[in-house]
Amino acid sequence: MSNVDFAPLNMNDIDTVACVGIGTIGGGWAAYFLAQGYRVKAWDPAPDAESKLRRLIDAAWPALTKLGLAPNASKDNFTVHSDLAEAVAGVGFVQESAPEVLDLKRSLLTQIDSVTAQDVVIASSTSGYGMTEMATAAANPSRLVVGHPFNPRTLFPWSRSLEAKIRRQRR
């Protein structure tokens, strides 16, 4: 197991985030990050992931607009990738939002950890597991954190861990 010393996460230094798993929660994260002016690279195994994400973003955008968009926000600044390594390549932050299945989360976090730059923080949206339970196979578990939103993601711009700092830094 390796550990990387992290400087404090400064979201102003990041322009691209990855959203891994883009169902309701992950798609909500993607819409939120777009509203905050980030470019989003998304991955999901569903064959219709891109069209579902587009519908979710379109449905959320009016509420996000009322909450306040960053000056460079664009609901079109996203790409959907079929390859996980491609989706996380070059990003400054990863938000994982797979279903609440422990073995699935362990596997996915291990895969993300193995193909993501070593200085990138990887957040997992979970309400049922601690990171200690999920990070058992990760080579670098020190960069894995829980980042879970209140629901619905698009209407409550708060998270249990990182989001308040992200909002302050991006404005």
Confidence label for 128 from pLDDT (cuts 50, 70 and 90): confident
Going by C-beta distance under 8 Å and a sequence separation of 6 or more, which residues neighbour residue 129? 100, 102, 105
Cα three-residue angle 152-77-159, rounded to 5 degrees: 30
* pLDDT recorded at residue 166: 44
Q: What fold characterizes domain 12-170?
A: Rossmann fold (3.40.50)
> Average of pLDDT values for 139-153?
74
Residue 72 predicted with pLDDT over 60: yes
Residue 159 predicted with pLDDT over 70: no
| Region class of 37: left (phi > 0), else alpha (psi between -120 and 50), else beta | left
User: For the chain, which residues make up each domain, given as ranges?
Assistant: 12-170
Range of weakest confidence among 57-71, 108-122, 131-145:
131-145
- In the chain, the N- to C-terminal Cα span, in Å, equals 36
* pLDDT recorded at residue 141: 84
At 42 the three-state DSSP class reads strand
